[in-house]
Amino acid sequence: MSAFLDALTRVPPLLASHVLLSAAALLLGIAISLPLAIWSARNAAVARVALGFASLVQTVPSLALLALFYPLLLSLSALVGGGIPALGFLPSLIALTLYALLPILRNAVAGLQGLDPAVSQAADAVGMTPAQKLRLVEAPLAAPVVVAGIRTAAVWTIGAATLSTTVGQPSLGDLIFAGLQTQNWALVLAGCVSAAALALIVDALIGGIEQGIRARRRWLWIASAAMLVTGTALATAPLWPRGGGGDRTVVVGAKNFSEQYILARLIGDRLTRAGYTVTYRDGLGSALVFGALSGGDIDVYVDYAGTIWANEMKRSDVPERTKMVADIGAWAKSTHGVGLVGTLGFENAYAFAMKADVARRQRIASLDDLVKAAPGLTLGSDLEFLERPEWAAVKRAYPLRFARTTPYSPTFMYRALQSGKADVISAFSSDGRIAADKLTVLTDPRHAIPGYDAILMVAPARANDARFTAALRPLVGRVPVEAMRTANYQVDRDTDKQTPEAAARWLASKIGLPSS
Amino acid sequence: MPDQSPALAFERVTKAYGATIAVDAVSLEIAGGSFVALVGTSGSGKSTLLKTINRLVEPSDGRVLLDGTDVTHGPAPALRRRVGYVFQNIGLFPHMTIAENIAIGLRIAGRGDEADVGALLDLVDLPRGIAGRLPDALSGGQRQRVGIARALAPGAKLLLLDEAFGALDPVTRDALGTRIRELHDRLGLTTILVTHDMAEALLLADRVLVMKAGRIVADATPAALVAGEGGDDAQALVQVPRAQADRLRALVA
């Protein structure tokens, strides 16, 4: 219970972002839908196109819709010479706005077309202009149906806004995604309960407006609307500008697994001590995070040399580790202005792992041995591995043909190996569970897997900020892989789980940094 | 708007819906102050012809003159505010009170403060107490009276009644017809009543026009029609109330 209450303390700032995003998307959706609905009600061709488009949008899964706007905005930004943020608020706003269109549009068109023909003719016959007819007759009579559509759109938007976490926009989804990743159910529960409560309250208040208009009870709809506006203002209070701050606020990014959460807190603690106000953007997709850094959406994060090498630089050769890091630093600086502060001192490489007894029984110790056995085995991977160039490189070096490949979120991948659902997994070398579960890591005699030194990357605006990099420099070369594994395991294990914050504090004291 | 009753003229007015011709080159003059009934069966084109006056229907050909001016001269809303129009389905605005419904014509013309709702309710024999109610709370006959008050409120001198009594019970219908005739005489209106009921036409109007397949097939006074004039189509319609009257008389005898 106290874990749940603890998790609830993280709700207010996320709720503020969530409410702001949902409200903005809903208002924009209304502003687009209503004129379109009026046009549609008067022109069947427009109605067909508008409703067809809105329905089409609705068939796209909301997660995919959000993800779609990242490359779209990225290329748009490139087209106009930069300046359009591809991550965070903008893509979330566009996707959610599109999502809100259908219910509002459909109800408004139905409301306008459902008008009693006698009333419509009477409005013409008494000499109303089209504008007067809309204002005095059509709008008031269609209002309850229109508001019902807005109510549906509001509930959908609040629900779908939890997914905006994946494109780097803070929302209540942060709690759900982080909790799911670290199996912190209190966090998941806190996120779900807050999002559901928000949706229910908004639903009830807009329902009050709808009822007030329908029953012509002016006080009811005015009171409901006033509560809605006040509630929105209060909920977004944590976001109100408060003087000062300015460039003293920095954003630390993290991908979607425990090690990243822990390192983000370790970095955040350094920066806080240096006098910065720190916020966290957790759960960023591995493919998005470098773009988020070079675009300035986040200020600092930890990546892995091989990931940048293969995914961003599109290189398939495997040089020696220090040369690779040096090349990455030069490339990042010259092409994106991104700064590489240094390596943290450990590697988190892809490592093919098996249960020790199974590996022994089948006499598999290296990837070469695995080639023969693969047709009878199932490979469990993380969600992106099978799409990554590293997997292509491994397959080039070792002709692996598995009976089945199944992607899991990292936590569930280890579970799958334990339960026998997977025989081999694409583990991470810094993962504490390799030692704890006594797994056998297969060797890579052909050196197909590049080095994955953890590297500290900073945004272009921070690359030449001496105070900022000075705050981070004590971390360089300071984190041995054993310490990282232990910290990871504290978060990942099933019993006596620690929060990423607690693990970061433990890690700081372990490597001799101030930690209280 | 001149104070005297407006005169109307139709010049070869035609309305076609695709291949169907609803009104077929009708030419007609209606003197100011007359009470004209336009009678015909359903689909004869009488309602379509009426609506060309206030431009709820735009003719395919020909033109309508109101006091010598083409009705298409100027914007339609301005024309309609000078022409009272009452139709069978009434179309009271359900979200407005009776008073707001009656005053709507003046309100949209920016003359809202001139509305004397009480006097208008008196005019159509409705209690002033209903002014604050919504249309839902009224009977069908009361609603149609409100419709008439709404049509007359802006000071219209031309009143178009489009099957206005069609949905009412016979007692209310008779009372309302009589009231309309009184208002016509008292206010100096020009009134055109579209109806399929020849008895109503004969009893209320000064002049009866019979329409069939988009054309005027008879144009006579009620007395002349009762006397057997106006041709076969008109007499077929007059025959109905005449036969009813004969049977009623036989019952009394």
- A464 contacts chain B (CB < 8 A): no
| Paired tokens of B231 | 């041709």
Shortest CA gap B251–chain A (Å): 42
Please indicate whether, in this complex, the C-beta atoms of B108 and A140 are within 8 angstroms of each other: no
Please indicate whether, in this complex, the C-beta atoms of A126 and B109 are within 8 angstroms of each other: no
- A141 contacts chain B (CB < 8 A): yes
Nearest CB to A125 within list B56, B94, B95 = B56
Please indicate whether, in this complex, the C-beta atoms of B79 and A126 are within 8 angstroms of each other: no
Helix ranges (H only) for A43-61 are 44-59
Residues in chain A, pLDDT under 70: 1, 82, 241-248, 515-516
Nearest CA in chain B to A140: B95
Q: Residue B3's pLDDT is what? A: 58
Please indicate whether, in this complex, the C-beta atoms of A125 and B87 are within 8 angstroms of each other: yes
Please indicate whether, in this complex, the C-beta atoms of B104 and A124 are within 8 angstroms of each other: no
Going from N- to C-terminal start, the domains of chain B cover 34-58+71-252
Burial group, residue A366, by CB count within 10 angstroms (0-12, 13-18, 19+): middle
Nearest CB to B80 within list A119, A126, A216 = A126
- A215 contacts chain B (CB < 8 A): no
Nearest CB to B90 within list A118, A129, A132 = A118
Nearest CA in chain B to A120: B91
- Count other Cβ atoms within 10 Å, centred on residue B214: 23
Please, what CATH class does the domain formed by B34-58+71-252 belong to?
alpha beta
Q: Residue A1's pLDDT is what? A: 56
| Paired tokens of A291 | 């773009």
Please indicate whether, in this complex, the C-beta atoms of A119 and B91 are within 8 angstroms of each other: yes
Please indicate whether, in this complex, the C-beta atoms of A127 and B77 are within 8 angstroms of each other: yes
Which domains, from first to last, does chain A contain? 2-239 (1.10.3720.10), 246-347+451-510 (3.40.190.10), 350-441 (3.40.190.120)
Cβ pair A276, A471 in contact under 8 A: yes
- A131 contacts chain B (CB < 8 A): no
Cβ pair A339, A332 in contact under 8 A: yes
- For the beta sheet containing B8-17, the strands, ordered from the edge strand earlier in sequence to the opposite edge, are B20-30, B8-17, B61-66, B69-70
Nearest CB to B91 within list A118, A127, A140 = A118
Question: Which residues is A278 bridged to in the sheet?
Answer: A250
Nearest CB to A128 within list B77, B89, B94 = B77
- A340 contacts chain B (CB < 8 A): no
Coil/strand/helix, residue A370 = helix
Coil/strand/helix, residue A494 = coil
Distance CA A307, CA A286 (A): 9
Interface mutation vs chain A, best among B108, B120, B144, B148, most A CBs within 10 Å? B108
Q: Residue A339's pLDDT is what? A: 93
- B109 contacts chain A (CB < 8 A): yes
| Paired tokens of A195 | 């999002």
Q: Which residues of A touch B150 (CB under 8 A)?
A: 126
Contacts (Cβ under 8 Å, ≥6 apart) of A479: A344, A345, A346, A454, A507, A511
Q: Residue A185's pLDDT is what? A: 86
Contacts (Cβ under 8 Å, ≥6 apart) of A350: A306, A385, A390, A394, A426, A427, A428, A429, A449, A452
Please indicate whether, in this complex, the C-beta atoms of B80 and A120 are within 8 angstroms of each other: no
Distance CA A515, CA A505 (A): 5
DSSP of chain B: --SSPP-EEEEEEEEEETTEEEEEEEEEEE-TT-EEEEE--TTSSHHHHHHTTTTSS--SEEEEEETTEETTSS-HHHHHTTEEEEETT----TTS-HHHHHHHHHHHTT-GGG--HHHHHHHTT--GGGGGS-GGGS-HHHHHHHHHHHHHTT--SEEEEESTTTTS-HHHHHHHHHHHHHHHHHHT-EEEEEES-HHHHHHH-SEEEEEETTEEEEEE-HHHHHTT-SHHHHHHHHHHHHHHHHHHHHHH-
Q: Residue B2's pLDDT is what? A: 45
Nearest CB to A127 within list B80, B87, B91 = B80
Chains A, B: CB contacts under 8 A, how many?
65
- A128 contacts chain B (CB < 8 A): yes
Please indicate whether, in this complex, the C-beta atoms of B79 and A123 are within 8 angstroms of each other: no
Please indicate whether, in this complex, the C-beta atoms of A127 and B79 are within 8 angstroms of each other: yes
Q: E strand or H helix at A188, and its extent?
A: helix A185-214
- Count other Cβ atoms within 10 Å, centred on residue A364: 23
Q: Which residues of A touch B80 (CB under 8 A)?
A: 124-127
First CA to last CA distance, chain A: 25
Nearest CA in chain B to A213: B95
CA A183 remoteness from chain centre: 17
Distance CA A298, CA A251 (A): 5
Nearest CA in chain A to B77: A127
Please indicate whether, in this complex, the C-beta atoms of A127 and B92 are within 8 angstroms of each other: no
Residues in chain B, pLDDT under 70: 1-3
